[in-house]
Amino acid sequence: MRAIVLSIGDELLCGDCVDTNSSWLCGRFAERGVQVCEVLQIPDDRERIAHAFRSASGRCEVIVSTGGLGPTPDDLTSAALADAVGDELVRDETAVGWIRDRLVSRGHGMIDSQATMGDRPTSAVLLRNANGTAPIVHRADEICRVWCLPGPPVEMRPAFEQYIAPELPPGRSLASQEVRCCGIIEADAAALLGELIDRDRTLPVGTRVSRGSFIATVHEEGPESDALLADVAARLAPWAYGGNDEGPQHDVARMLLAANQTLATAESCTGGWIGASIVDVPGSSRWYRGGVVSYSNELKHRWLDVPMTRFEAEGPGAVSGEVARDMAVGIRATTGSDWGVSVTGVAGPDGGTERKPVGTVWIGISSDTADVARQFRFPGDRTAVRRRAVAYAMQCLRFAMLETSAPLALEVGS
Protein backbone atom coordinates (compact mmCIF):
# COMPACT_ATOMS: atom_id res chain seq x y z
CA MET A 1 0.00 0.00 0.00
CA ARG A 2 1.26 3.44 -0.97
CA ALA A 3 0.40 6.86 0.45
CA ILE A 4 0.91 10.46 -0.60
CA VAL A 5 1.01 13.29 1.93
CA LEU A 6 -0.10 16.80 0.96
CA SER A 7 0.88 19.66 3.28
CA ILE A 8 -1.19 22.73 2.48
CA GLY A 9 -0.37 26.28 3.56
CA ASP A 10 1.33 29.47 2.36
CA GLU A 11 3.40 29.55 5.56
CA LEU A 12 5.19 26.33 4.55
CA LEU A 13 6.45 27.88 1.31
CA CYS A 14 7.63 31.15 2.87
CA GLY A 15 10.09 29.50 5.22
CA ASP A 16 8.10 30.65 8.27
CA CYS A 17 7.45 27.19 9.43
CA VAL A 18 9.03 23.74 9.18
CA ASP A 19 6.52 21.09 8.11
CA THR A 20 6.75 18.63 10.99
CA ASN A 21 3.30 17.15 10.21
CA SER A 22 4.53 15.34 7.12
CA SER A 23 7.50 13.67 8.81
CA TRP A 24 5.26 12.61 11.69
CA LEU A 25 2.77 11.10 9.23
CA CYS A 26 5.60 9.38 7.33
CA GLY A 27 6.76 7.79 10.57
CA ARG A 28 3.27 6.55 11.45
CA PHE A 29 2.75 5.14 7.94
CA ALA A 30 6.13 3.40 8.03
CA GLU A 31 5.25 1.73 11.32
CA ARG A 32 2.16 0.28 9.66
CA GLY A 33 3.95 -0.92 6.55
CA VAL A 34 2.61 1.81 4.27
CA GLN A 35 5.14 3.27 1.83
CA VAL A 36 4.89 7.05 1.49
CA CYS A 37 5.95 7.65 -2.10
CA GLU A 38 5.76 11.44 -2.04
CA VAL A 39 5.29 14.44 0.24
CA LEU A 40 4.09 17.59 -1.48
CA GLN A 41 3.92 21.06 0.09
CA ILE A 42 1.69 23.50 -1.76
CA PRO A 43 0.23 26.95 -1.11
CA ASP A 44 -3.34 27.93 -0.23
CA ASP A 45 -4.37 27.93 -3.90
CA ARG A 46 -7.62 26.18 -4.83
CA GLU A 47 -6.57 25.17 -8.32
CA ARG A 48 -3.16 23.95 -7.18
CA ILE A 49 -4.66 21.88 -4.35
CA ALA A 50 -7.27 20.36 -6.69
CA HIS A 51 -4.53 19.43 -9.17
CA ALA A 52 -2.51 17.81 -6.38
CA PHE A 53 -5.48 15.65 -5.32
CA ARG A 54 -6.15 14.61 -8.93
CA SER A 55 -2.51 13.84 -9.67
CA ALA A 56 -2.03 11.85 -6.45
CA SER A 57 -5.13 9.71 -6.77
CA GLY A 58 -3.73 7.69 -9.68
CA ARG A 59 -0.48 6.91 -7.92
CA CYS A 60 -1.43 5.66 -4.46
CA GLU A 61 -4.18 4.13 -2.40
CA VAL A 62 -4.19 6.63 0.48
CA ILE A 63 -3.97 10.42 0.39
CA VAL A 64 -3.69 12.45 3.57
CA SER A 65 -3.70 16.23 3.49
CA THR A 66 -3.06 18.58 6.40
CA GLY A 67 -4.14 22.20 6.68
CA GLY A 68 -6.70 24.43 5.01
CA LEU A 69 -9.79 23.30 6.93
CA GLY A 70 -10.34 26.40 9.07
CA PRO A 71 -12.87 29.24 8.78
CA THR A 72 -10.72 31.88 7.06
CA PRO A 73 -10.76 32.70 3.34
CA ASP A 74 -7.42 30.96 2.77
CA ASP A 75 -8.85 27.62 3.95
CA LEU A 76 -9.62 25.91 0.64
CA THR A 77 -8.96 22.20 1.03
CA SER A 78 -12.57 21.02 1.02
CA ALA A 79 -13.52 23.16 -2.00
CA ALA A 80 -10.44 21.98 -3.88
CA LEU A 81 -11.23 18.32 -3.17
CA ALA A 82 -14.74 18.95 -4.55
CA ASP A 83 -13.20 20.43 -7.71
CA ALA A 84 -10.82 17.49 -8.05
CA VAL A 85 -13.60 14.89 -8.02
CA GLY A 86 -16.21 16.97 -9.90
CA ASP A 87 -18.47 17.48 -6.88
CA GLU A 88 -20.44 20.43 -5.60
CA LEU A 89 -19.91 21.69 -2.04
CA VAL A 90 -22.85 21.09 0.29
CA ARG A 91 -23.38 22.20 3.86
CA ASP A 92 -23.57 19.32 6.34
CA GLU A 93 -26.00 20.38 9.07
CA THR A 94 -24.88 17.61 11.45
CA ALA A 95 -21.33 18.92 11.27
CA VAL A 96 -22.52 22.50 11.71
CA GLY A 97 -24.14 21.25 14.92
CA TRP A 98 -20.77 19.87 16.13
CA ILE A 99 -19.11 23.20 15.36
CA ARG A 100 -21.80 25.19 17.18
CA ASP A 101 -21.70 22.83 20.19
CA ARG A 102 -17.96 23.15 20.56
CA LEU A 103 -17.99 26.93 20.31
CA VAL A 104 -20.89 27.27 22.75
CA SER A 105 -19.21 24.92 25.23
CA ARG A 106 -16.29 27.39 25.24
CA GLY A 107 -18.52 30.40 25.77
CA HIS A 108 -18.60 31.64 22.19
CA GLY A 109 -21.36 31.99 19.58
CA MET A 110 -20.97 30.66 16.03
CA ILE A 111 -20.41 33.22 13.28
CA ASP A 112 -21.13 32.61 9.56
CA SER A 113 -17.53 32.00 8.55
CA GLN A 114 -17.29 29.22 11.12
CA ALA A 115 -20.31 27.43 9.64
CA THR A 116 -18.34 27.06 6.37
CA MET A 117 -16.23 24.44 8.15
CA GLY A 118 -19.34 22.25 7.79
CA ASP A 119 -19.13 22.33 3.98
CA ARG A 120 -18.09 19.12 2.19
CA PRO A 121 -17.93 17.67 -1.33
CA THR A 122 -21.22 15.82 -2.05
CA SER A 123 -19.49 12.43 -2.22
CA ALA A 124 -17.47 12.97 0.98
CA VAL A 125 -18.34 12.63 4.67
CA LEU A 126 -17.29 14.74 7.64
CA LEU A 127 -15.79 13.21 10.79
CA ARG A 128 -15.87 14.89 14.17
CA ASN A 129 -12.61 16.54 15.36
CA ALA A 130 -12.11 15.56 19.00
CA ASN A 131 -9.50 18.29 19.61
CA GLY A 132 -10.63 21.25 17.54
CA THR A 133 -13.50 22.85 15.68
CA ALA A 134 -12.85 21.96 12.02
CA PRO A 135 -14.24 18.54 11.03
CA ILE A 136 -12.10 16.04 9.12
CA VAL A 137 -13.10 15.44 5.46
CA HIS A 138 -13.08 11.83 4.22
CA ARG A 139 -13.84 10.41 0.80
CA ALA A 140 -13.27 6.91 -0.59
CA ASP A 141 -13.75 5.42 -4.03
CA GLU A 142 -12.57 2.18 -5.63
CA ILE A 143 -9.12 3.62 -6.37
CA CYS A 144 -8.15 5.71 -3.43
CA ARG A 145 -9.13 6.88 0.06
CA VAL A 146 -8.62 10.52 1.05
CA TRP A 147 -8.51 12.09 4.51
CA CYS A 148 -8.16 15.85 4.96
CA LEU A 149 -6.82 16.58 8.45
CA PRO A 150 -6.50 19.92 10.25
CA GLY A 151 -3.03 21.56 10.36
CA PRO A 152 -2.37 22.01 14.09
CA PRO A 153 -0.40 18.94 15.25
CA VAL A 154 -2.43 18.78 18.45
CA GLU A 155 -5.56 18.14 16.30
CA MET A 156 -3.94 16.32 13.38
CA ARG A 157 -2.16 13.57 15.32
CA PRO A 158 -5.15 12.28 17.35
CA ALA A 159 -7.33 12.48 14.21
CA PHE A 160 -4.85 10.22 12.39
CA GLU A 161 -4.89 7.71 15.24
CA GLN A 162 -8.69 7.79 15.52
CA TYR A 163 -9.73 7.64 11.88
CA ILE A 164 -6.84 6.56 9.64
CA ALA A 165 -4.73 4.10 11.65
CA PRO A 166 -7.63 1.63 12.15
CA GLU A 167 -8.25 1.62 8.38
CA LEU A 168 -4.70 0.61 7.48
CA PRO A 169 -4.07 -3.09 6.89
CA PRO A 170 -1.85 -4.84 9.42
CA GLY A 171 1.36 -4.50 7.43
CA ARG A 172 4.91 -5.42 8.16
CA SER A 173 6.55 -2.32 9.61
CA LEU A 174 8.74 -0.29 7.28
CA ALA A 175 10.06 1.70 10.21
CA SER A 176 13.82 1.81 10.16
CA GLN A 177 16.42 1.00 12.71
CA GLU A 178 19.54 3.11 12.70
CA VAL A 179 23.23 2.75 13.43
CA ARG A 180 24.68 6.20 14.08
CA CYS A 181 28.35 7.11 13.73
CA CYS A 182 30.47 10.13 14.51
CA GLY A 183 34.02 10.88 13.37
CA ILE A 184 34.12 8.88 10.14
CA ILE A 185 33.68 10.32 6.66
CA GLU A 186 30.88 9.01 4.48
CA ALA A 187 33.14 7.31 1.93
CA ASP A 188 35.12 5.43 4.59
CA ALA A 189 31.92 4.29 6.27
CA ALA A 190 30.52 3.18 2.92
CA ALA A 191 33.71 1.22 2.22
CA LEU A 192 33.38 -0.57 5.57
CA LEU A 193 29.77 -1.44 4.74
CA GLY A 194 30.85 -2.74 1.34
CA GLU A 195 28.33 -5.01 -0.35
CA LEU A 196 25.73 -4.31 2.36
CA ILE A 197 24.81 -1.03 0.68
CA ASP A 198 24.29 -2.46 -2.82
CA ARG A 199 20.93 -1.23 -4.05
CA ASP A 200 19.79 -4.60 -5.40
CA ARG A 201 19.94 -6.55 -2.15
CA THR A 202 16.71 -7.88 -0.67
CA LEU A 203 17.42 -6.07 2.58
CA PRO A 204 19.18 -2.89 1.54
CA VAL A 205 21.06 -0.70 3.99
CA GLY A 206 20.37 3.01 3.51
CA THR A 207 22.90 5.66 4.41
CA ARG A 208 22.81 9.35 5.02
CA VAL A 209 24.73 12.14 6.71
CA SER A 210 22.93 14.38 9.19
CA ARG A 211 24.52 17.11 11.28
CA GLY A 212 27.93 15.51 11.00
CA SER A 213 26.77 12.00 11.86
CA PHE A 214 26.86 9.13 9.38
CA ILE A 215 23.68 7.11 9.74
CA ALA A 216 23.04 3.62 8.34
CA THR A 217 19.42 2.43 8.31
CA VAL A 218 17.81 -0.96 7.92
CA HIS A 219 14.23 -0.48 6.78
CA GLU A 220 12.57 -3.67 7.89
CA GLU A 221 12.16 -5.60 11.07
CA GLY A 222 12.57 -9.26 11.93
CA PRO A 223 15.37 -11.72 12.68
CA GLU A 224 17.16 -11.09 9.37
CA SER A 225 17.07 -7.35 9.90
CA ASP A 226 18.38 -7.70 13.42
CA ALA A 227 21.30 -9.79 12.20
CA LEU A 228 21.99 -7.27 9.45
CA LEU A 229 21.83 -4.41 11.92
CA ALA A 230 24.33 -6.17 14.17
CA ASP A 231 26.62 -6.70 11.17
CA VAL A 232 26.38 -3.01 10.26
CA ALA A 233 27.17 -1.97 13.84
CA ALA A 234 30.14 -4.35 13.99
CA ARG A 235 31.59 -3.06 10.71
CA LEU A 236 31.22 0.56 11.86
CA ALA A 237 32.81 -0.02 15.29
CA PRO A 238 34.17 1.93 17.10
CA TRP A 239 32.62 4.97 15.34
CA ALA A 240 29.08 3.63 15.80
CA TYR A 241 27.77 4.93 19.10
CA GLY A 242 24.10 3.99 19.07
CA GLY A 243 20.70 3.76 17.45
CA ASN A 244 17.60 5.81 16.67
CA ASP A 245 17.51 9.27 18.23
CA GLU A 246 20.70 8.67 20.18
CA GLY A 247 23.84 10.77 20.48
CA PRO A 248 27.30 9.59 21.63
CA GLN A 249 26.34 10.70 25.15
CA HIS A 250 23.84 7.83 25.36
CA ASP A 251 26.60 5.27 24.86
CA VAL A 252 28.84 7.14 27.28
CA ALA A 253 25.99 6.88 29.79
CA ARG A 254 25.77 3.10 29.29
CA MET A 255 29.55 2.67 29.65
CA LEU A 256 29.83 4.88 32.75
CA LEU A 257 26.92 3.12 34.45
CA ALA A 258 28.43 -0.29 33.66
CA ALA A 259 31.80 0.78 35.06
CA ASN A 260 30.25 2.67 37.98
CA GLN A 261 32.22 5.77 37.04
CA THR A 262 31.52 9.50 36.96
CA LEU A 263 32.13 12.37 34.56
CA ALA A 264 32.59 16.14 34.72
CA THR A 265 32.88 18.74 31.95
CA ALA A 266 34.81 21.96 31.37
CA GLU A 267 33.57 23.95 28.40
CA SER A 268 34.62 27.09 26.65
CA CYS A 269 33.29 27.63 23.11
CA THR A 270 30.49 25.09 23.55
CA GLY A 271 29.22 27.20 26.44
CA GLY A 272 27.45 24.41 28.33
CA TRP A 273 26.08 22.51 25.35
CA ILE A 274 27.99 19.33 26.30
CA GLY A 275 26.52 19.46 29.80
CA ALA A 276 23.06 20.12 28.35
CA SER A 277 23.34 17.13 26.00
CA ILE A 278 24.41 14.94 28.91
CA VAL A 279 21.56 16.08 31.15
CA ASP A 280 19.21 15.29 28.25
CA VAL A 281 19.79 11.62 29.12
CA PRO A 282 17.30 10.66 31.86
CA GLY A 283 19.05 9.49 35.01
CA SER A 284 22.29 11.34 34.21
CA SER A 285 22.60 12.47 37.83
CA ARG A 286 23.85 8.94 38.61
CA TRP A 287 27.05 9.52 36.64
CA TYR A 288 27.33 13.22 35.78
CA ARG A 289 28.79 15.39 38.53
CA GLY A 290 28.51 18.73 36.74
CA GLY A 291 30.87 21.15 35.07
CA VAL A 292 31.94 24.67 34.38
CA VAL A 293 31.57 27.05 31.49
CA SER A 294 34.94 28.78 31.81
CA TYR A 295 34.43 31.31 29.10
CA SER A 296 37.10 33.71 30.38
CA ASN A 297 40.79 32.98 30.97
CA GLU A 298 40.45 34.12 34.57
CA LEU A 299 37.76 31.50 35.25
CA LYS A 300 39.86 28.83 33.51
CA HIS A 301 42.55 29.68 36.03
CA ARG A 302 40.36 30.06 39.07
CA TRP A 303 38.06 27.08 38.61
CA LEU A 304 40.35 24.69 36.73
CA ASP A 305 43.79 25.69 37.90
CA VAL A 306 45.01 26.45 34.36
CA PRO A 307 48.29 28.36 34.88
CA MET A 308 47.93 32.03 33.87
CA THR A 309 51.25 31.69 32.01
CA ARG A 310 49.36 29.70 29.36
CA PHE A 311 47.63 32.90 28.31
CA GLU A 312 50.71 35.13 28.16
CA ALA A 313 52.08 36.36 24.86
CA GLU A 314 54.69 33.57 24.69
CA GLY A 315 52.24 30.95 25.96
CA PRO A 316 50.20 28.57 23.84
CA GLY A 317 46.98 30.61 24.27
CA ALA A 318 43.50 29.66 25.41
CA VAL A 319 42.88 27.53 22.31
CA SER A 320 45.67 24.99 22.65
CA GLY A 321 46.33 21.40 23.57
CA GLU A 322 47.96 22.47 26.82
CA VAL A 323 44.89 24.39 27.97
CA ALA A 324 42.46 21.67 26.84
CA ARG A 325 44.48 19.15 28.87
CA ASP A 326 44.72 21.49 31.87
CA MET A 327 40.97 22.03 31.78
CA ALA A 328 40.19 18.30 31.66
CA VAL A 329 42.64 17.58 34.47
CA GLY A 330 41.31 20.53 36.47
CA ILE A 331 37.64 19.61 36.27
CA ARG A 332 38.38 15.99 37.11
CA ALA A 333 40.40 17.04 40.15
CA THR A 334 37.97 19.62 41.48
CA THR A 335 34.92 17.38 41.14
CA GLY A 336 36.60 14.11 42.08
CA SER A 337 35.25 12.45 38.93
CA ASP A 338 36.71 9.46 37.14
CA TRP A 339 36.66 11.23 33.78
CA GLY A 340 37.09 14.86 32.77
CA VAL A 341 36.22 16.21 29.32
CA SER A 342 37.06 19.67 28.06
CA VAL A 343 36.60 21.78 24.94
CA THR A 344 38.28 25.00 23.89
CA GLY A 345 38.08 26.38 20.39
CA VAL A 346 37.39 29.16 17.91
CA ALA A 347 33.71 28.93 16.98
CA GLY A 348 33.68 32.16 14.96
CA PRO A 349 32.56 34.24 13.23
CA ASP A 350 35.42 36.34 14.69
CA GLY A 351 38.56 35.35 16.55
CA GLY A 352 40.19 33.18 13.88
CA THR A 353 43.86 33.60 12.99
CA GLU A 354 46.06 32.06 10.32
CA ARG A 355 47.43 29.51 12.77
CA LYS A 356 44.10 28.96 14.49
CA PRO A 357 41.34 29.53 11.94
CA VAL A 358 37.65 29.50 12.81
CA GLY A 359 36.69 25.86 13.40
CA THR A 360 39.87 24.98 15.36
CA VAL A 361 38.77 23.02 18.42
CA TRP A 362 40.84 21.19 21.06
CA ILE A 363 39.24 18.41 23.08
CA GLY A 364 40.85 17.23 26.31
CA ILE A 365 40.24 13.95 28.12
CA SER A 366 41.54 13.17 31.60
CA SER A 367 41.37 9.90 33.49
CA ASP A 368 43.50 8.05 36.02
CA THR A 369 45.44 6.41 33.18
CA ALA A 370 46.13 9.33 30.81
CA ASP A 371 45.55 13.00 30.04
CA VAL A 372 45.31 13.72 26.33
CA ALA A 373 44.27 16.49 23.97
CA ARG A 374 43.20 16.16 20.32
CA GLN A 375 42.90 18.95 17.77
CA PHE A 376 40.13 19.20 15.17
CA ARG A 377 39.16 21.58 12.41
CA PHE A 378 35.35 21.70 12.04
CA PRO A 379 33.58 23.22 9.02
CA GLY A 380 30.54 25.48 8.99
CA ASP A 381 29.23 28.43 10.94
CA ARG A 382 29.36 29.12 14.66
CA THR A 383 26.49 26.79 15.47
CA ALA A 384 27.78 23.99 13.22
CA VAL A 385 31.28 24.17 14.74
CA ARG A 386 29.85 24.09 18.25
CA ARG A 387 27.44 21.23 17.47
CA ARG A 388 30.30 19.18 16.03
CA ALA A 389 32.49 19.95 19.06
CA VAL A 390 29.78 18.62 21.39
CA ALA A 391 29.45 15.31 19.51
CA TYR A 392 33.22 14.88 19.06
CA ALA A 393 33.91 15.55 22.75
CA MET A 394 31.66 12.63 23.67
CA GLN A 395 33.17 10.52 20.88
CA CYS A 396 36.73 11.26 22.09
CA LEU A 397 35.63 10.21 25.56
CA ARG A 398 34.11 6.99 24.16
CA PHE A 399 37.33 6.20 22.29
CA ALA A 400 39.36 6.80 25.46
CA MET A 401 37.04 4.54 27.45
CA LEU A 402 37.27 1.89 24.71
CA GLU A 403 41.07 2.32 24.67
CA THR A 404 40.96 2.46 20.88
CA SER A 405 43.41 4.39 18.75
CA ALA A 406 41.08 4.48 15.72
CA PRO A 407 41.35 7.76 13.80
CA LEU A 408 38.68 10.45 13.92
CA ALA A 409 37.79 12.44 10.79
CA LEU A 410 38.61 16.17 10.84
CA GLU A 411 41.48 15.64 13.29
CA VAL A 412 44.59 17.65 12.49
CA GLY A 413 48.15 17.06 13.62
CA SER A 414 49.08 18.99 16.71
The reply to whether 203 sits near a second copy by the rule CB under 8 A is no
> Least CB distance from residue 18 to a second copy, whole Å?
5
Q: Which of 173, 123, 147, 158 is nearest to 61 (CA)?
A: 147
| Interface with a second copy, residue 42, by CB under 8 A | yes
State in angstroms the smallest separation of the CB of 27 from a second copy. Answer: 2
Residue 299 CB, nearest approach to a second copy (Å): 5
Positions 69 through 108 that interact with a second copy (CB under 8 A): 70-74, 103, 106, 108
Which residue number, 234 or 412, has a Cβ lying nearer to a second copy? 412
Quote the strand ranges of 211-323, DSSP E.
213-218, 240-242, 263-267, 288-293
Of 176 and 320, CB closest to a second copy? 176
**What's the rounded Cα separation, in Å, for the pair 174 and 197?**
17
Among 39, 89, 140, 333, binds a second copy (CB under 8 A): 39
> Binding of a second copy at residue 389 (CB under 8 A)?
no
Given CA atoms 38, 125, 121, 61 in this order, what sign does their dihedral have? Answer: positive
The span from the CA of 29 to the CA of 40, in Å, is 16
Q: Which is nearer to a second copy, 137 or 390 (CB)?
A: 390
Q: Is 57 in the site for a second copy (CB under 8 A)?
A: no
Binding marks (x or -) toward a second copy, 265..294, rule CB under 8 A? x-x-xxxxxxxxxxxx-xxxx--xxxxxxx
Residues 6+ apart with CB under 8 A from 135: 69, 92, 95, 98, 99, 117, 118, 120, 126, 127, 128, 129
Nearer CB in complex with a second copy: 141/280: 280
The contact pattern for a second copy, residues 234-263, with x = CB under 8 A and - = no contact, is ------------------------------
Pick from 93, 142, 143, 154 the residue near a second copy by CB under 8 A: 154
Dist. CA 166–CA 328, nearest whole Å: 54
Is 222 among the residues that bind a second copy (CB under 8 A)? no
Mode of pairing for the β-strands spanning 213-218 and 205-210: antiparallel
Q: Which of residues 355-384 bind a second copy (CB under 8 A)?
A: 379-384
CB neighbour class for 38 (10 Å; exposed up to 12, middle 13-18, buried from 19): middle
* Sequence-ordered alpha helix ranges (H) in 32-87: 46-57, 77-85
Cα separation, 298 vs 243, whole angstroms: 40
Element housing 399 (H / E): helix 382-402
Q: Which stretches does DSSP call E strand in 261-332?
A: 263-267, 288-293
Nearest distance, CB of residue 115 and a second copy, angstroms:
10
Per-position x/- string for 299-338, each x denoting binding to a second copy as judged by CB under 8 A, each - no binding? x--xx------------------------------xx---
- Contact between 190 and a second copy (CB under 8 A)? yes
